[in-house]
Amino acid sequence: MTTPRGIDPRGPRFTATLTAVLLLTVVALGIAGTTYVINTSSGWSAYEITLKSPLQRLLEPGAILFAVLVLIFAWSATQGVAKHPFGLFFRAVIRPRLTPPAELEDPAPPTFAQGVGFLITATGLVLHLLGVPYALVIAASLAFIAAFLNSVFAFCLGCQIYLLLVRARIIRPKGAALA
């Protein structure tokens, strides 16, 4: 097991809180700015899909914020959660004002969670750009639930889904004997 250097466990909690608030903002913006109008004037319900290019969809306020979050997830999943921009802010501004932590934590679990966050949000963003109705709102809601549980309940995503993903052959650990 590689344990480069322990991180303050409050760092990922802070990151999750900020991420949850931003994801909730995406949900609200996504619903407010939704372009699928239900037309009931003609006596039947129908979705009036406005024709927009992927670029126009990307420039919606909710989508811009969501795209930034996708990039942050990608960055910290590949570079390690210690380099997460919100985590850097925590270390520079907030941590000096707190008492030192009782113990340090392995960065691997929160880094794994960032990877899951990337998969969910990136899928949602791509579907949204392709014009799938409510893809943005649904993906942001799922990611929000995970971030909220992590922030408020210290929920550990890796504990609950790593083995499921491995056993479903979605993740293939190196050198693993297959089930």
Partner 1 sequence: MQPILVVLGLVAFATALGLLWKSQQGRVRRTASTIDLPEGVTLGGRATLLQFSTEVCSPCRATHTVLDSLARETDDVTHVDFDLTHRPDVAARFNILQTPTTLILDRDGVVRARIGGAARRDSVLAELTRIGAAA
Question: For strand 47-49 and strand 36-38, is the pairing parallel, antiparallel, or unpaired?
Answer: antiparallel
> Site mask, partner 1, residues 118-147, x = CB under 8 A?
-------------------x---x--xx--
Q: Which amino acid is at 20?
A: A
Examine residue 158 and tell whether it contacts partner 1 (CB under 8 A). yes
Smallest gap from Cβ 79 to partner 1, in A, equals 17
Q: How far apart, in whole angstroms, are the C-alpha atoms of residue 116 and residue 131?
A: 23
Our CB check for partner 1 shows the closer of 24 and 126 to be 24
Examine residue 160 and tell whether it contacts partner 1 (CB under 8 A). yes
Are 117 and 74 in contact, with CB atoms under 8 Å apart? no
Examine residue 173 and tell whether it contacts partner 1 (CB under 8 A). yes
Return the SS3 of 62: helix
Our CB check for partner 1 shows the closer of 27 and 72 to be 27
- Rule CB under 8 A: choose which of 24, 58, 76, 80 binds partner 1: 24
Closest CA to 147 of 35, 22, 46, 3: 22
Examine residue 27 and tell whether it contacts partner 1 (CB under 8 A). yes
